[in-house]
Amino acid sequence: MLRGLMLKNLIIINSIHSTNDAINAYETGTILIAKHQEKGRGRHGKFWLSPIGGLYFSYKILVPQTCSRGFIPIAAGIACHRAFRELTGQELFLKWPNDILNSQEKKLAGILVESKKCAHKRSIGKGSVGKEICIIGIGINLQSTEDFGFLELDSKLSLNPSLIALHIANQIDQIFHPKTFDASSENLNYWQQHSIFQSGELMQVYTNQAHASQGENLRVGRVDRLDKNGVLYLADLKTKELIPLSSEQASNLRKVPTEDIA
């Protein structure tokens, strides 16, 4: 299962403020692992609890310019999902935009992607592909808790989490390979097959979170599709209008309970 892993510049630190911040000092291709983060963070600056016993790492890579920034978190989530399935054989789910859930729909891993343009270019065949520096931070629960799921591993992997990080990094490399990257077919199909939000499923979302407590801006619709920019579309239940959702709205996207469906 773990044969053929490409060697990386692997750095392991006991404790650090944030792997995503610290990895800026290293070259691309580096994996930075911490046993504990003092100031780990998730999307939108939210605090990410990083106790000893989990796996927290960042991977710094170059991604093809043909990959939109909005799709990078989607692709990173797919890479993690593939790696987890290969390592555990468990049925897991992707939650838009980039969480991994277990069969009880409890979160067992989250991803924070930060990227910036760079001038680096590399010749690919007859043409050239521009690059973007991308830092993919991944936090994985390896121990059971009341509120979260965890990645159930055999004892050998549990004692050597760096193998997990290497396996995920290799999956990321495969997805973002400039010669084979395709945001419009294979990866989108994979996401749809393993998404917790299936096509046609009824969802509700507050399009303006600031007014959610007053019940304003509530939209109800069915999952329509995910596009190559990482935008999730709902078809409004009444008007059939397509509602584009940004990742900022992910936290207030909810399934409509079966009993509430008229």
pLDDT at residue 90, as a whole number: 85
pLDDT at residue 246, as a whole number: 81
pLDDT at residue 50, as a whole number: 58
Give the residue from 115, 135, 111, 106 showing the smallest Cα distance to 56. Answer: 111
Give the residue from 50, 14, 53, 9 showing the smallest Cα distance to 169. Answer: 9
Pairing of strands 99-101, 218-226: unpaired
Contact criterion met (CB below 8 Å) for 142 and 150: yes
Give the residue from 204, 104, 211, 94 showing the smallest Cα distance to 148. Answer: 104
Residue type, 137: G
10-residue stretch averages of pLDDT, the chain, 262 residues long = 58 85 91 78 56 83 86 92 88 91 88 74 41 88 72 67 89 85 79 92 79 66 93 94 86 76 55
- Cβ burial of 213 (10 Å; 0-12, 13-18, 19+) is exposed
Domain extents in the chain:
9-194, 202-260
107 bridge partner residues: 101
Gap between the Cα atoms of 219 and 200, Å rounded: 15
pTM for this prediction: 0.83
Quickly name the fold that domain 9-194 has.
BirA Bifunctional Protein; domain 2 (3.30.930)
Six-digit token string for 12:
């392991």
- Cβ burial of 190 (10 Å; 0-12, 13-18, 19+) is middle
**Where are any strands of DSSP class E within the chain?**
9-16, 30-37, 55-64, 93-95, 99-101, 107-124, 127-140, 202-206, 218-226, 232-236, 242-245, 254-255
Gap between the Cα atoms of 151 and 247, Å rounded: 24
**Greatest CA span in the chain, whole angstroms?**
58
pLDDT at residue 125, as a whole number: 36
